[in-house]
Amino acid sequence: MTTSDIHRMTLSQLKRNLEAKNLSSREITESFLKRISETNKSLNAFITITEDLAISHSVEADEIIAKGKAKSLTGLPFAHKDLFCTDGILTTCASKMLSNFVPPYDATVVKRLKDAGIIMIGKTNMDEFAMGSSNETSYYGNVSNPWNLDLSPGGSSGGSAAAVAAGLAPAATGTDTGGSIRQPAALTGVTGIKPTYGRVSRYGMIAFASSLDQGGFFTKSSEDAALLLTEVAGLDEFDSTSSAEPVPDYTASINNSIKGIKIGLIKQHFEEGLDEANKKVLEEALKALGSQGAEIIEIDMPNIGLSVPTYYVVASAECSSNLSRYDGIRFGHRAENFNDLTDFYSKTRGEGFGSEVKRRIMTGTYVLSAGYYDAYYLKAQKVRQLISEDFKNAFEKVNVIAGPTTPSPAFPLGAKMDDPIEMYLNDIFTIGANLAGLPAMSIPCGFVNDLPIGLQLIGKHFGEESILQCGHQYQQITDWHQQVPEDFK
Amino acid sequence: MSNHWEVVIGLEIHAQLAAQSKIFSGASTAFGGEPNTQACLVDLGYPGTLPVLNEKAIEMAVRFGLAVDADIASRSIFARKNYFYPDLPKGYQISQLDLPIVKGGKMSILDDSGNEKIIGITRAHLEEDAGKSIHDEFENASGIDLNRAGTPLLEIVSEPDISSAKEAVAYMKKVHSIVRYLGISDGNMQEGSFRCDANVSVKPFSQKELGTRTELKNLNSFKFVEKAIQHEIIRQIEIIEDGGEIVQETRLYDSNLDETRSMRSKEEANDYRYFPDPDLLPVIIDEEYINEIRESLPELPSAKKDRFVKSYQLKSADAEVLTSSKQLADFFEEVDKGTDIDSQSTANWVIGDYMAALNKTDLEIEESKISASDLASLLNKIADQTISGKIAKEVFESMWKGEGSAEEIIERKGLVQITDDSEIENIVNQVIENNPSQVKDYLDGKSQLLGYFVGQIMKETKGKANPQKVNEILRRNLK
């Protein structure tokens, strides 16, 4: 590769070039900023571009590198989903409600990456408050899929996915509540990882559904995902649900062979809802894993079919409460003309939230209401437990579960906006891992109609090493992850 | 009030825990800061922030649970109570619903007839306080002070075992005393650190099922608790006797008008949509932890009272008063240790003159004008017969005014008791000589005139004559 290919390099390749002094941080950073200024108009992947800050940080990074004091990510550009709080920098959650919100602090993920030397180049577009599967609910307009601008990149982390796919950033954060990293990763042909619930601190991640939300990454390779996760994972005193489980060096174990590893296929995920063309591509991917010595075993998960309704009860319930703080009193959008307190609340929230957010707040309020709680919320919690047990039983037989990330490739913008159920079903294969709190990733595994398809790998609790290892080994013998959209070469 | 009516009361007491920092953040809980200076991003409900439990609050709740013989839950969970109000930053209050940390305790009080009565404690749970809305300082606007937001509270819920307004106060005082003994709350009612809501209903004794109850909100003094409940009992009885029905509702007590008025009815009540807070893990408490705390518990009022009766030979009622607060009990013990006078006399002094002086000047023991050793040295002057008990009261007053030590005041004012027999005899004889007709009446059988002579002698000596000696010599010389 030449320097003109900077935007096609993986984070690890850029790192090696920085270390070898082939490239400077400033060159790399400016190259990405230039890409953004040329192409963001058509993609709408970024809400905020922190150009000046990024350049001055790259200059500092070059000085640090010159002094031989570089840390693991020093000088590497990076984008954050606009849901991670960034000190002094607009953080909107793609909502009118927070269109003026400048946090006075950094999210733990942001801080740890900053401490490791990373340079933020901007904040990416997303579905409003991470509620959506197409990036069309954003107050800042939809993001386009780099593979075809008329298509959705998926969501909710569509901006991050599109930015990495189109070479506007070498890697980016995302958050995944029901598939918001894996689904857009699959639809844009990049690698996306959602770690185990509790592996990465949620502090400073603006909450959608607290028991499901988990921060993760979009990268060009499993190796890059391992590199980032090693820096960010681990206990955080500001998040009670973060885990004290020791953090291994994920970049070390990915090189191990997958010979003898047992990979399970969820029977139910190949029976219903999966397009025939996708199925064929997936079968090829599984063959490739098999050729590396993995043993493929079919597993039965009788309750997995209940994932989507369970998810929409739990997630909506939690979001209805999490979003109560947006009342116009201390921050965010505030209604100007009102008669009394109730009127102030309804106008502030009526104006500040988009329709999908309102739909979920209403659903959540309903399922928690007196007289409905047992039938909905409590029942959903019980089903959630059953689904977790299905996974637990499965992991007694296998090391990793593999299957589709999405039922079909990217769909046209606008195609599903009028049918929320159809939209929700896009997450049918991803939601299970959120309900059970398991680590899962999506890696590119082929094309249908010239559009990328994702292979989903799900691991045991804190089993990131095994899915990263499978992903990396697969990416050693395939080049799906190196494919770039024609218009963004 | 008619004997026909049975009153049923349950109290929900909110005790602010004496933790340095808030229950889910590191911000200070100190009272009286400039508005909104003691609220961090967590307290302000900023996007992305998360609650982290203050372990100190758990420890304090466990202490309380053990002190009232309750079960400590091995697993308890925090839940969100959802409602909108400007001083509730997150739009929900973190509290406990289904699995509170403390369950099923009891407390003994004295009922209206002075008999021991057990009041059940249903539960005690941890929660965060809301902020404060200020409605009268700004034109066309309300102020919000979030300093109090996130302050740890222990809500102590009693069984409906209380049968009168007086009992309610006795129970509340007992809880107040216990939380202060345990050092888990300063119990400062003016600052709102200790307040209660009361559920009140009445029914004819013959009726089995309970009457419809009303809830009285935010009673923040013992006096208001008594008055508000008393008022509410009468209101309810009058309504029923007039053929009306009690409406289940929340009522506010107006201390200025001494009346309660409706705040909201059951129909208007919020549906709080409680659900387990996903940001917090269940609180797991093991036996070892409970035992550690049990061992560190101080002597509690009832045990202390028993000990006072037994080892100081005090009257039970006096022991009850002295042990009502740890400070008072400690004060008594310190005085007693420093004096030779008998313990019951010391108790009389502490409960009598000393507490009266505190009440009159509205001071706490910590702010007292007279220390335990000051009082002990005064009592020693009685014990060694330097002064009489009566003179001691005068000296006490001077001491309270800061005029010096007992010794200094006695000396300066020449209050040393006359104990010299011949000196007293001279005065006695002089009084007998000056009152021949009273002497005659006395000798004719009007024995109550003895007090008259004592009075005359005391007048002559400005109260300094030793009373026993005066009595003795007077009786002898009047023969």
Structure tokens at B159: 């069984």
- Per-residue pLDDT, averaged over A238-250, amounts to 97
Report pLDDT for A1: 59
Three-class SS state of A193: strand
Burial of B415 by CB count in 10 Å (0-12 exposed, 13-18 middle, 19+ buried)? buried
Q: How far is residue B375's CA from residue B152's CA, in Å, rounded to a whole number? A: 38
Q: How far is residue A287's CA from residue A280's CA, in Å, rounded to a whole number? A: 11
Task: Kindly list the residues from chain B whose CB atom is less than 8 angstroms away from the CB atom of residue A207.
Answer: 47-48, 279
* Residue linked to tokens 């049968």: B163
The answer to whether B78 and B280 have CB atoms below 8 angstroms apart is yes
- Per-residue pLDDT, averaged over B24-47, amounts to 94
B53–chain A Cβ distance below 8 A for any pair: yes
Residue with the bigger pLDDT between A363 and B476: it is A363
A256–chain B Cβ distance below 8 A for any pair: no
Q: How far is residue A472's CA from residue A400's CA, in Å, rounded to a whole number? A: 14
Of the candidates A374, A401, A405, which has an alpha carbon nearest to the alpha carbon of residue A460? A401
Q: How far is residue B95's CA from residue B83's CA, in Å, rounded to a whole number? A: 13
Question: pLDDT tens-digit profile of B297-317?
Answer: 999 988 999 999 999 999 988
**Residue A205 carries which DSSP code?**
B
- Per-residue pLDDT, averaged over A352-377, amounts to 97
pLDDT over 60 at B2, yes or no: no
Report pLDDT for A3: 65
Of the candidates A155, A248, A233, which has an alpha carbon nearest to the alpha carbon of residue A197? A233
Alpha-carbon gap: B273 to the closest alpha carbon of chain A (Å): 5
Residue with the bigger pLDDT between B111 and A158: it is A158
Least confident range of B63-77, B91-105, B397-411, B431-445:
B431-445
Q: Which CATH homologous superfamily contains domain A3-261+440-488?
A: Amidase signature (AS) domain (3.90.1300.10)
Report pLDDT for A2: 65
Type of residue at A43 = L
Q: How far is residue B72's CA from residue A386's CA, in Å, rounded to a whole number? A: 30
Q: How many residues does chain B have?
A: 479
Quote the Cα angle for B430-B435-B440, to 5°: 120
Least confident range of A350-354, B154-158, B413-417:
B413-417
- The pLDDT > 90 percentage for chain B reads 66
The answer to whether A357 and A130 have CB atoms below 8 angstroms apart is no
* A174, β-bridge pairs: A216
Burial of A126 by CB count in 10 Å (0-12 exposed, 13-18 middle, 19+ buried)? buried
Report pLDDT for A45: 98
pLDDT over 70 at A356, yes or no: yes
Three-class SS state of A305: helix
Q: How confident is the model at residue B245 (pLDDT cuts 50, 70, 90)?
A: very high
Report pLDDT for B450: 85
Question: pLDDT tens-digit profile of A30-43?
Answer: 999 999 999 999 99
CB contact under 8 A, A368 and B273: yes
Query: pTM of the full predicted structure?
Result: 0.90
Task: Kindly list the residues from chain A whose CB atom is less than 8 angstroms away from the CB atom of residue B50.
Answer: 202-203, 238-241
Query: Which run of H or of E encompasses B10?
Result: strand B5-16
pLDDT over 90 at A386, yes or no: yes
Q: Strand order of the sheet with strand B79-82?
A: B92-95, B79-82, B275-276
Q: Dihedral of the CA atoms B112, B117, B123, B124 (nearest 10)? A: 60
Question: pLDDT tens-digit profile of A263-275?
Answer: 999 999 988 788 8
Q: How far is residue A274's CA from residue B469's CA, in Å, rounded to a whole number? A: 112
The answer to whether B95 and B123 have CB atoms below 8 angstroms apart is no
The answer to whether B344 and B358 have CB atoms below 8 angstroms apart is no
The answer to whether B102 and B71 have CB atoms below 8 angstroms apart is yes
Instruction: Please give the sequence-ordered ranges of beta strands (E in DSSP) within B179-237, or none if there are none.
Output: 194-204, 214-219
- Per-residue pLDDT, averaged over B40-59, amounts to 97
Phi, psi dihedral angles at A445 (to 5 degrees)? -135, 15
Give, rounded to a whole angstrom, the gap between the first and last alpha carbons of chain A: 13
- Per-residue pLDDT, averaged over A285-301, amounts to 96
Of B47, B92, B275, the CB nearest to A85: B47
Alpha-carbon gap: B267 to the closest alpha carbon of chain A (Å): 13
Which positions of A are annotated as active-site residues? Answer: 81, 156, 180
Report pLDDT for B304: 94
CB contact under 8 A, A240 and B281: yes
Mean pLDDT (chain A, rounded): 96
Structure tokens at A155: 């969501």
A373: phi > 0 → left, psi -120 to 50 → alpha, else beta; which? alpha
The answer to whether A187 and A148 have CB atoms below 8 angstroms apart is no
Q: Is omega for the bond preceding A355 within 30 degrees of 0, making it cis?
A: no
Report pLDDT for A418: 86
A382–chain B Cβ distance below 8 A for any pair: no
pLDDT over 80 at B266, yes or no: no
pLDDT over 70 at B242, yes or no: yes
* Residue linked to tokens 């005066």: B470
pLDDT over 80 at A381, yes or no: yes
Q: How confident is the model at residue B289 (pLDDT cuts 50, 70, 90)?
A: very high
Q: Dihedral of the CA atoms B319, B321, B326, B327 (nearest 10)? A: -120
Report CA torsion sign: B68, B71, B77, B83: negative
A186: phi > 0 → left, psi -120 to 50 → alpha, else beta; which? alpha
Chain centre distance of CA B15:
13
User: A255-279: string of b/e by CB count within 10 Å (b at 16+)?
Assistant: eeebeebbbbbbebbbeebbeebbe
Strands B249-254 and B214-219: parallel
Report pLDDT for B462: 82
- Per-residue pLDDT, averaged over B360-380, amounts to 91
**Residue B350 carries which DSSP code?**
I
Rg over CA atoms, chain B: 29
CB contact under 8 A, B46 and A369: no
* Residue linked to tokens 């005014």: B401
- Per-residue pLDDT, averaged over A86-101, amounts to 98
Of the candidates B386, B365, B367, B390, which has an alpha carbon nearest to the alpha carbon of residue B377? B386
Of A104, A211, A345, the CB nearest to B84: A345
Question: pLDDT tens-digit profile of A134-156?
Answer: 999 999 999 999 999 999 999 99
Mean pLDDT (chain B, rounded): 92
Closest alpha carbon within chain B to A98: B47
A241–chain B Cβ distance below 8 A for any pair: yes
Q: How far is residue A207's CA from residue A201's CA, in Å, rounded to a whole number? A: 12
Quote the Cα angle for B206-B207-B212, to 5°: 140
